[in-house]
Structure 1
Amino acid sequence: MKVAVVGASGYVGSRLVPELLRRGHDVVATHHRSPPAAYPWSGDVEWRRVDVHDEEAVVAALGGVDAISYLVHGLDDADFMRLDRQAADNVAYAAGVVGATRLVYFSGIVPDLPPEELSDHLLSRLEVEQILATADTSVLTLRASMVVGAGSTSFEVMRQTSQRLGVVQTVPAWMGSSVIQPVSVTDAVYYLAEAIERPEITGHLDVVGPDRLSYMALLRTYAGAARLRRVQLPVWLAPVDVVARVAGRLVDVPAPVVESLIPSLGHDMVADRDAADVFGEPVGGRLTVAEAIRRSLATPRASAASSDAEADTVADFSDRAPDGAAVGGDPQAPSVGDPAWARDRSVLDWLRGALPSR
């Protein structure tokens, strides 16, 4: 099949493309500004430029494709909910116009709550899902909670906070009550690829790993896998908005993205309709949280030794670590195409950037 990956240069897209290529599909990868050259597969796909907020551009970019994997979700714009609705409208319309026979959307697990009780992040995901479901084609939404893998936004927030909070971690007490079912990026792309090839399955399914645990337990699991000595100190008076602002300053992930994600931590994010019950288990079974974390940390990471975010060249990265976006590689590993904020910095480097200069 000819498969369009809308959002190919994003984290999940960068790991999905090599899986589709491995399965023998022709891939159309969309980009907004200029096609990234860093990924190992960049020369093996057809790049098409598209502004997802421009209906005509979306129709043109998706012309001739058999299936569409839609991975776009904005969090770094204050008006991201409206922009996401507009983009979803355009993709749903274009899917029918170009005659695509399959549309797969990668979303987030949505708790069974009234819309007014959902965070903007989760509500936006649900709105996009509902809009795409109106497309004149076979549509399936795969919902996930936290995706574990080097370079994943949620994983990098967890990694960087765990490293920078020190031995005694002050953790909001409410993070001990909500339950999450994380999924490795390896398993996420497996189910995305399976979904593209199975157009008879519609509606929504949840993509999760085998473990259910609280966010506090997840942080402890990370510390164990990373061999960090950490002691958690629950904080009872920790308003969500305050936690979001502090976390946004603590990590290298863009602050607006972090501040949009944090409110979702108060919800349970577990499977209601497990994709494994429909598609089956991947070979070897789904990765546990601990194993997914270990594999994400196992290879040397690109180190931003200088303040220049572009200082890490492709050659330098390739010399030190297999690329996580390579065909046949380990999706858990980092990739040279991952954002600069996903690269390791020492605590001292972080402090130099966080403290005001004289």
Structure 2
Amino acid sequence: MRVFVTGATGALGQHLVPQLLAAGHDVTATTRSPDKAAGLRAAGAEPVVLDGLDRDAVVAAVVAARPDAIVHQMTALADLHSLTNLDESFAATNELRTRGTDNLLAAAETAGTRRVVAQTAERTLYRSGASAKVETDPYDEPVSAAARTQAAIRYVEQTVPAAVPEGIVLRYGTFYGPGASDFLLEAVRAQHLPVIGGGTGIWSFIETSDAASATVAAIERGEPGIYNVGDDDPAPVADWLPYLAEVAGAQPPAQVPVSVGEELAGEFVVVQMTTARGISNEKARKELGWEPRFASWRDGFRAWVA
């Protein structure tokens, strides 16, 4: 299969391209950096230096590649260091999830590509009800600092399955692994990430190579729609944050009340720490035939830190 991968040098793309090549696919891989093109070529992919917001360039690149599937992994999170104002930190990524998505869908239509696999994330979507949400659960209202980010996610999730015959959206849990959430590990080691309000918020994690293997599965099979991609072990902050500190060789995180957390980190972080909900991966397991190598963050964190 000919596969056109955008965001190929990002945290997930670095795993996705080798996995696709190992599975026998022909890969055209995009990067915004000319300096990274040689590495993609050396890996066995056909590199394209591309700005995902340049509609004409995106259409031309896709038409030239004639792909059977397009993978939308474009983000701009390499310099992410804070979640206090999510909309500010995700402004460029939100544009890639709206204008960039439109550009790729226009390219798919022009090239006659039926299958498009796009990524979103679950962090802004849920803060009430069951601890592990399924794909059909309605979104909760976002906090003000994450409203534009959730709107961009909604846009991808509503637009992609409706725009192409085989539109799939992978809703990833929180990435971890080398290059994926280094700021989180740094904050834990520096004692800058306390447990807020008892740490009752539920998180779903996914190690980056596991996220890539789910993406390969979605390229090769699966009905159109949304699939949650997380590990088997959604967990409260009160469990995973002290454990991460332990395996990282750091002091246990401090415990602070909600009022202090709001002052230090803002409403979005407090919600994530206290009321956020995780996701169920049952649909992806059943319909994509996928399972994570790291079924729990407990094992995955140890491998990451090592």
TM range (shorter): 0.7 to 0.9
Render the CA deviation track for 1:102-137: whole Å, top value 9, x for unaligned: 111121123333455572333322212222233233
Secondary structure of the equivalent of 2:102? helix
Q: Does 1:180 align with 2:203?
A: yes
Deviates more, 1:79-88 or 1:5-14: 79-88
The answer to whether the Cα contact below 8 Å between 1:187 and 1:287 also exists between their aligned partners in 2 is no
Q: Which runs of 5+ in 2 are unaligned?
A: 78-88, 127-137
From the superposition, tell whether residues 116 and 231 of structure 1 become closer, same or farther in structure 2 (CA, over 3 Å). closer
Q: Name whichever of 207-216 and 33-42 sits farther off.
A: 33-42
Deviations 1:2-37 (CA, angstroms, capped at 9, x unpaired):
111111011111111010011011110112241505
**Which of 231, 243, 247 is residue 209 of structure 1 equivalent to?**
231
CA change 1:134–1:231 in 2 (3 A) is closer
CA deviations on 1:238-296 (whole Å, 9 max, x unpaired) are 3547415xxxxxxxxxxxxxx9x84772521322753112223448x543202111111
Shift of 1:186: 2.3
Structure 1, unaligned runs of 5 or more: 245-258, 299-358
Work out the CA distance in 1 between the residues paired with 2:23 and 2:253. 45
| TM-score after normalising by structure 2 | 0.80
Which among 286, 301, 304 is matched to residue 293 of structure 1?
301
> Would the aligned equivalents of 2:116 and 2:167 in 1 still touch at CA under 8 Å?
yes
| Identity within the alignment, % | 25
Q: How many residues align?
A: 276
Counterparts of 1:190 and 1:227, CA distance in 2: 30
Question: For residues 19 and 138 of structure 1, what CA distance do their matches in structure 2 show?
Answer: 21
Alignment equivalent of 1:279, drawn from 285, 288, 294? 288
CA 123–26 in structure 1, closer or farther in 2 if over 3 Å, else same: same
Q: 1:90 to 1:113 in 2, by over 3 A?
A: same
| Aligned match for 1:107, one of 103, 111, 120 | 120
- Show the counterpart of 2:154: 126
Distance change >3 Å, CA 132–CA 281, structure 1 → 2: closer
Q: 2:184 aligns with which of 145, 150, 158?
A: 158
**2:60 counterpart SS class:** helix
Query: Is residue 2:265 matched to residue 1:243?
Result: yes
Q: Does 1:19 align with 2:19?
A: yes
The two structures have a TM-score, normalised by structure 1, of 0.69
Q: Which moved more, 1:287-296 or 1:73-82?
A: 73-82
- Contact preservation (8 Å) 1:158, 1:219: no
Q: Tell me if the contact between 1:28 and 1:47 (Cα under 8 Å) persists in the aligned partners.
A: yes
2: CA distance, partners of 1:52 / 1:37 = 15
User: Aligned with 1:100: secondary structure?
Assistant: coil
Q: Is the CA contact 1:225–1:293 (under 8 Å) kept in the aligned structure 2? A: yes
Structure 1 264/31 Cα, relative in aligned 2: closer, same or farther at 3 Å? farther
Q: Is this contact kept in 2: 1:85–1:131, CA < 8 A? A: no
Q: Which residue of 2 aligns with 1:95?
A: 108
Q: Quote how far apart the aligned CAs of 1:89 are.
A: 1.0
* 1:61 correspondence with 2:53: no
Task: Give the structure 2 partner of residue 138 of structure 1.
Answer: 166
29-38 or 110-119, which deviates more: 110-119
Dislocated runs of 4+, deviation >6 Å: none
The CA RMSD over aligned residues, in Å, is: 2.8
The equivalent residue for 1:247 is none
Q: Distance in 2 between matches of 1:286 and 1:296?
A: 11
- In 2, the alpha carbon distance for the partners of 1:183 and 1:80 equals 20
Output aligned runs, 1:19-58, within 5 Å: 19-36=19-36, 39=39, 42-58=42-58
The offset of 1:156, in angstroms, is 1.5
Check whether the contact 2:173–2:205 (CA below 8 A) recurs between aligned residues.
yes
CA distance in 1 between counterparts of 2:105 and 2:141 reads 22
